[in-house]
Amino acid sequence: MANLFKFLIPQERKFFPMFEKASGNVVMIAKALVQMVNERDGLKRKDILREIEKLEHIGDSVAHEIFIELGTTFITPFDREDIHALTSALDDVADFIHGSAKRMEMYKLSLPDSTISRLAELLEKAAEELHTAVSGLKNLKNADIIKAACVRINSIENHADDIFDTAIASLFDNQVNAIEILKSKEVLSVLETATDKCEDAANVLEAIIVKNV
């Protein structure tokens, strides 16, 4: 009956371009992170960090715009809670990517670093899959595409967990400077959490599919 009700009453479509803008921004900030962690020139890294900061602010603005529309729209395409959760999860991914980049610069980590580069590249892949899934929301005939992208995000997150665990073990085995251990561990933790947030967004997308298809 709920699905019939949604079919009979027109729903507001303005959310879909905003979702895609948010997920597209996550892709851009993830790509910028990959560029930053592979850049040897410190001044160029600072420039990339400034670009990441701009993109993070854009993400905040898009999330704010969605929340305002959510509060003023009578008929939404999905449950309000799911729209809020998806928007928050996408914003969290951007926030944690920005947080990792800021810490790398603040702690003056030696870059490039192979583990950090691998995690950043996994984040980029997860962001691209998120964008694929989010772009499919405007037509739920794309449910299989959305679900497949979510499965790939889950696989990426598991891979990131494995890399993180191995890196932390290696830090304590090979690094004698306690301060350097703490710096590296925090950056790696924030990067790994960013992949967790990608999985959180994927979980919301899967819930939307279950409820609406």
Q: What is the CATH number for 160?
A: 1.20.58.220
Q: Does residue 15 form part of some domain?
A: yes
Which distant-in-sequence residues (6+ apart) come within 8 Å of 116 by Cβ?
37, 104, 109, 187, 188, 191
Q: Does residue 201 form part of some domain?
A: yes
Answer positive or negative: Cα dihedral of 173, 177, 182, 185. negative
Q: Does residue 1 form part of some domain?
A: no
Nearest to 198 by CA among 133, 105, 113: 133
Q: Does residue 3 form part of some domain?
A: no
Q: Does residue 2 form part of some domain?
A: no
**Structural contact between residues 101 and 29, judged by C-beta atoms closer than 8 angstroms:** no
Q: Does residue 100 form part of some domain?
A: yes
**Domains: count for the chain:** 1
Cis peptide before 77 (omega within 30 of 0): no
Range of the domain at 71: 11-212
Greatest Cα pair distance in the chain: 66
Q: Does residue 4 form part of some domain?
A: no
Query: Tens digit of pLDDT per residue, the chain (213 long)?
Result: 444 444 433 456 789 999 999 999 999 999 999 999 999 999 999 999 999 999 999 999 999 999 999 988 888 898 999 999 999 999 999 999 999 999 999 999 888 899 999 999 999 999 999 999 999 999 989 999 999 999 999 999 999 999 999 999 988 888 668 888 899 999 999 999 999 999 999 999 999 999 988
Q: Does residue 6 form part of some domain?
A: no
In eight-state DSSP terms, residue 108 is: T
